[in-house]
Structure formats: structure tokens, C-alpha cells
């Protein structure tokens, strides 16, 4: 757990370790539950949910949203397309890219998986995030994410 060093300052290496380990454990637990109930993993769920909420997106749009490389994003979309959950269509304004949409099956899957995702996340975090200190933690992480995204820090180069 993140400890304060003398003078009330946050121990940044401990904060980083806590942040990364929490993310990894939550992600893995969500992977397990989504795989068990819906046959998908968290990254697939996130792609499907993004495409549901942003139809007609490009691979580059997903890569930017999730701060991952274009190649990895394209491979992830290939897997979703192979399962007939996503379709690519020609981009009329740029022949080099495609526009992505969910199929009816992809939409049904993400809708079902969303309930599992929300239920599992609530189950794993409610005891800690309920109350004022949880709200403060959520607000602090949101502000940190906004600052990093505003300055485009941590974006892949390829």
C-alpha cells in the first residue's frame, strides 16, 4: 500500500506499484469472469464497447483511446472480425483505412457482457471505493489521466 514519506509526501514508487498492481489484478479478474460467462477477455470487451458507443471508428481511433499501437489494435480487430462481431467497411474519405461497426451478434455480446463487467467491477471495488475516500481516489486518478492525455504522455509511437 502506498505510504507517505516524511513530511506527508506521497511515496511515488509505492503509488506506482499500487496503481499498476491494482490495474493488473482488476483486469485479470475481469478477464476470468468475462471469459467464463461470455467467451471474451477484457480487451475484447473494451473494443466492442467502444465500437458500440462510437460506430464508424477507425483502428487509429481505438489505438488512440486505449494508448496502444496500431498493429496490436488491428490484430485485436482482426480477431473480433473473425468471430463475426465486427465488420470493416470502406472509408469513403480515406481509402487506406476502414470504418468499423459492430454486427448484431457483436452488439448482443457487448450488451450481455456489460452487465457482467459492471457487476464484477462493483463486487471487486465497492468495499474500498464507497465513501468519501473512494470518491477522492477516483477524482485523483481521473485528473491524472486527463493531464497525461492532454499532454499526450505515454502514447505509442507506432
Q: State pTM to two decimals.
A: 0.85
The confidence band for 3, taking pLDDT boundaries of 50, 70 and 90, is low
Q: Kindly report, residue by residue over 42-72, the tens digit of the pLDDT.
A: 999 999 999 999 999 999 999 999 999 999 9
Spatial distance between the Cα atoms of 114 and 46, rounded to a whole number of angstroms: 10
Q: At what angle do helices 59-66 and 42-53 cross, to 10 degrees?
A: 120
Q: Quote the cell numbers at residue 21.
A: 498492481
Q: Mind listing the pLDDT tens digit for each residue in 96-131?
A: 889 999 999 999 999 999 999 999 999 999 888 887
Here the cell at position 146 is 486527463
Amino acid at each position: 500500500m502506498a505510504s507517505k514519506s516524511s513530511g506527508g509526501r506521497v511515496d511515488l514508487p509505492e503509488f506506482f506499484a499500487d496503481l499498476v498492481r491494482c490495474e493488473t489484478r482488476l483486469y485479470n479478474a475481469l478477464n476470468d469472469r468475462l471469459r467464463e460467462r461470455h467467451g471474451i477477455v477484457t480487451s475484447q470487451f473494451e473494443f466492442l464497447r467502444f465500437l458500440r458507443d462510437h460506430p464508424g471508428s477507425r483502428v487509429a481511433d481505438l489505438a488512440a483511446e486505449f494508448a496502444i499501437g496500431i498493429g496490436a489494435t488491428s490484430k485485436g480487430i482482426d480477431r473480433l472480425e473473425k468471430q463475426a462481431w465486427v465488420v470493416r467497411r470502406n472509408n469513403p474519405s480515406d481509402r487506406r483505412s476502414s470504418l468499423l461497426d459492430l454486427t448484431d451478434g457483436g452488439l448482443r455480446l457487448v450488451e450481455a457482457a456489460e452487465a457482467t463487467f459492471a457487476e464484477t467491477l462493483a463486487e471487486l471495488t465497492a468495499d474500498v471505493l464507497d465513501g468519501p475516500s473512494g470518491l477522492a481516489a477516483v477524482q485523483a486518478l481521473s485528473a491524472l489521466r486527463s493531464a497525461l492525455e492532454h499532454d499526450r504522455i505515454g502514447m505509442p509511437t507506432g
